[in-house]
Structure 1
Amino acid sequence: MRDHILGTLYGMALGDAMGMPSELLSRARIREIFGRIETFEDSPPENPAAIGLKKGEFTDDTAQALVILDSLMEHDYVPDKGIIAHNLLRWAVQTEAFEKNILGQSSKAALHAVAHGEDPEPYTVTAVTNGAAMRIAPIGCLFPCDDLEGLAAYVFRISEATHKTDVALGGAGMVAAAVSAALDGRSWEGIMDAAMDCYAMAARYGAQTYSASPKARLALALELARRHRADTEAFSLSVYEGIGTTTLMNEAVPTALAMAYYFKEPHACSLACANLGGDTDTIGAMAVAVCGAKAGAAVMDPALIAVLEQSNDVDFGRYADSLLAHRGRVHC
């Protein structure tokens, strides 16, 4: 189990770092700059979000996930909205995330309100972007897949500091449930079923929106995966054009889960996400976390892991040990 938890963490960082240089670039522009991304790359000067990052460095997706884990470890794994918001804000200030345009739209608005002593709820109850899902994968490690109701409640408590809508919470629940099912050894069909089952469980905690359902879009994306099972380029293009790769929750989450379902192997999935176009680092972080949870760290390329460890000052093993120690033992 520890190996698969570690695979989740490494997978999240791998997909994030591989997709970092192409973040928020179009599919065509990625080809013009890189030809095809085949390994870790520095961020190009025109990247609108990951300015100045070097090859192998992950972005705010993994950074925020680790801030949330630190917040949980600080409070015996009982989620506390105030602690999470305070620690996210401290990280944002330390990394100059506001000035560097690192934060997503919803998180930026909510944390800006917290920083100025204002109520963030007007922003959290309208948040439909993917910030809650991009950082949730490790939370799936805490729950066995037969407790999706408990996982959904926990996802809400983790996410409400910045995201509190049905679509944001439902999408985050889908990613966490996919990781949970992968750790439990479910088949890829079973992993997708768990993700779709968890959508309504998590969405009911949020404010109602008129957003398209990530669950419904995942069903469409899985049909595309089956239709193009022998043509990876056709599948990627069909997802890019038909499901979407923006920062909206109802595009990024179904696309990420479909990419994991289609490519399965962590390295292959990370490269496919990096070349996909759009919110490549976030889609990669979510997708490859699921692949890593299913595959385990032992089968991941040690050279890629070495680059991640050299480029980021993080002890992933310490987080894996903590998650393992609390798996099945957490509560809200």
Structure 2
Amino acid sequence: MRNLDKMLGTLYGEAIGDAMGMPTQKWSRERIAKEFPIPITDFMDGPTTNVHANDYHRGQYTFVTQQALVVIQALHGLHWEYNQVIVSQHLLDWARRIKAYEKNTLDDTSKTALRLFAGDKDITRVTQVAIDNGAVVRIPPIGALYTPDKKMALVEMVYQISKITHETDVTIAGATLIAGAVCAAIADYDWDNIIEFALTTSDLGASLGAPTYSAQIKQRVRLGLHIAKQFVNHPSGFVRAMYELVGTSELTSESVPTALIIAYYTRDVKKCAQMCANLGGDTTTIGALATAICGAKNGWQSISKDWCSLIDRQNPSQDLKGIAQQMLTFEPLRHNKIK
């Protein structure tokens, strides 16, 4: 069911989850409760007290969504034939435009890897030990390009895009988990089968990365599923358990399984974005990934048009509707060539 509604749902979902999670980025649950006694239910300016958010205004999404859009537009410009040097250069040019090296933006792993790429130096000493979630944020639109019967091609594309900065078992497993979830959501799988397909692609991805000592993505997802079923009618208990047991840090092994399970639990863009904004931890990344999956499943028509209009007004440099149209030109049977 690759259609414009699903493409737009993925893009606006990621943007909404990112922008709503921005004000509380990298704050603990205790800090969020202190700063916002009434839970966040709508977009807000970044608080002056949050160094990770104080440059952003209401409805603006962060470098999380920006990266995904840079990559998808680079691929479209290449007629969907992946070229690592060109895509890496697009990311480097973007990082320089947003002054990522001067401001408190972009994860440290990506900054270092892109700097090494710019100097024509070996990046593997960084990419093959990375365990944070800096690469997975680029991935939701990639999942929307493919159909489930092309899962091997999907995994290969995700691996290539991730290894620009992250090339370990856990980071590739996390990226292919999210790609698989979006792919299955686009295909309108039911929620339990979305999880199972995502775990399949994650296993395939994990086998491609350099080994690390990280907790296994699959086991964290299984734990999250148990929590979701235990707290099926108790969202506050669910959020607390996910925060304390699965985790919400920048580690891929924490934030990525948490994002998938929150999408599974809420099954709705609005509820998902609101839950992630009040979660604590890496709220922009978790919000972007989780809400992208919900948007992919339910489509753009399910999302508040007031929210979508705000996203458009506050982020005028990216045309999400135009990018969604570009994504529809991708043909999985033809465009699997990797250079």
- TM-score with structure 1 length normalisation? 0.98
Equivalent position to 2:226, from 219, 223, 227: 223
Worse overlay, 19-28 or 322-331: 322-331
* Equivalent residue number for residue 34 of structure 2: 32
* Equivalent residue number for residue 323 of structure 2: 319
CA drift at 1:148: 1.5
Equivalent position to 2:301, from 295, 298, 303: 298
- Verify the 8 A CA contact 2:9 2:299 in the aligned structure 1: yes
Q: Are 1:142 and 2:145 matched, yes or no?
A: yes
- Verify the 8 A CA contact 2:76 2:327 in the aligned structure 1: no
Q: Deviations over 1:155-203 (max 9, x none)?
A: 0111111111111011000000000000101000010001111112111
* Equivalent residue number for residue 110 of structure 2: 107
* Whole-Å separation in 1 of the counterparts to 2:229 and 2:41: 25
* Whole-Å separation in 1 of the counterparts to 2:54 and 2:209: 33
Worse overlay, 227-236 or 70-79: 70-79
Worse overlay, 49-58 or 278-287: 49-58
Q: How does 1:234-245 map to 2 (within 5 A)?
A: 234-245=237-248
- Verify the 8 A CA contact 2:13 2:295 in the aligned structure 1: yes
Equivalent position to 2:161, from 158, 161, 172: 158
Q: How does 1:78-227 map to 2 (within 5 A)?
A: 78-227=81-230
* Equivalent residue number for residue 59 of structure 2: 56
User: Secondary structure of the equivalent of 2:104?
Assistant: coil
User: Secondary structure of the equivalent of 1:182?
Assistant: helix
Any runs of at least 4 consecutive aligned residues in structure 1 with deviations exceeding 3 A, and if so which?
none
Worse overlay, 11-20 or 104-113: 104-113
Q: Deviations over 1:253-306 (max 9, x none)?
A: 100000000001101100000000000000000000000000100111111111
CA drift at 1:214: 1.1
* Whole-Å separation in 2 of the counterparts to 1:111 and 1:71: 16
CA drift at 1:317: 1.3
* Whole-Å separation in 1 of the counterparts to 2:231 and 2:281: 21
- Verify the 8 A CA contact 1:134 1:282 in the aligned structure 2: yes
CA drift at 1:29: 0.7
* Whole-Å separation in 1 of the counterparts to 2:152 and 2:72: 21
CA drift at 1:327: 4.2
* Whole-Å separation in 1 of the counterparts to 2:117 and 2:136: 21
- Unaligned runs of 5+ residues in structure 1 are none
- Verify the 8 A CA contact 1:10 1:297 in the aligned structure 2: yes
CA drift at 1:66: 0.6
* Whole-Å separation in 1 of the counterparts to 2:53 and 2:94: 16
* Whole-Å separation in 2 of the counterparts to 1:199 and 1:212: 14
- Unaligned runs of 5+ residues in structure 2 are none
CA drift at 1:62: 0.5
Equivalent position to 2:290, from 266, 284, 287: 287
CA drift at 1:101: 2.0
Residues 13, 327 of structure 1: CA spacing in aligned structure 2 closer, same or farther, 3 A cutoff? Answer: farther
Q: Deviations over 1:215-255 (max 9, x none)?
A: 11001001100000000000001000000000000001100
Identity among equivalent positions (%) equals: 40
Worse overlay, 224-233 or 115-124: 115-124
Equivalent position to 2:4, from 2, 5, 24: 2
CA drift at 1:142: 1.2
* Whole-Å separation in 1 of the counterparts to 2:118 and 2:35: 38
Equivalent position to 2:280, from 263, 271, 277: 277
